[in-house]
Structure 1
Amino acid sequence: TATPLTNISMTIDWFLSNAECVEDIYCIGGYNPTLKLNRWMGKLTFPQGTDVLVRRMPLAIGGGAGGSGQVYMNMPNALSSMWRYIMGGMKFDVIKMSSPYIKSTIAFLIAFTDVDATTLDIEDYPHRLVQFGEVQERA
């Protein structure tokens, strides 16, 4: 909830799955250090063809909005809609959020489970994208 004393970088390969969403602890930088995934900032990578990046953007993943047993990602609707055209893995280059304030237009993608290319209107299936206005709160 405050500015971290040390910046930490890590990479997470994320994919859609029908497995139950549970909290996890990631061990980074050695045998003992552990960090619970919560309130992270990073960049979302869409690999497509020979291009490594289609679009990069700030985002947050983890339980930063409250809630339990769910995965939250901050993504504008326009970019989350790209998923219908890119049926593959999305990769996060994640770094610890350094600012105690959050000020952005947020769309939470809530508990997105397995879908396939035949799914119509993927933005509405069956989980909701909730669009918030500009928010300025202490993290």
Structure 2
Amino acid sequence: MPKIDKTDSQWREELTPEQFYVLREEGTERAFTSPLNDEKRDGLFICAGCEKPLFKAETKFDSGTGWPSFYAPIDADAVSEHTDRKLFMKRTEVRCADCGGHLGHVFPDGPRPTGQRYCMNGIAMQFDPEGDV
């Protein structure tokens, strides 16, 4: 269960329509549209819904998929993973552990050291260049 519990009305007041679509309605942004694809500075990627730190910049890599990709979350408590069968296949959905916002999916085709590819919607995150853990 998410730690932050808000109504759809409350979320709509705080998020842009695009953020609401992805974070609260489990949508997907179009590939290659997020400015976070090109973000290469040190810092943290945080949840756009609740500002929870999700990924360190040092774990980001260019997957060529059109979405920001990471090989590991910042720690085990940053995200939660859930089975997703929406597209007639079994995938692993990734959500923010605090607000339950939909972030994207994780796939077993990433680089070392984990072999994982956390393929995230850029609109679901913000970049904090001052962030440090």
Larger radius of gyration: 1
More strand by percentage: 1
Q: Same fold (TM over 0.5)?
A: no
TM-score of the pair, normalised by structure 2? 0.32
TM-score of the pair, normalised by structure 1? 0.31
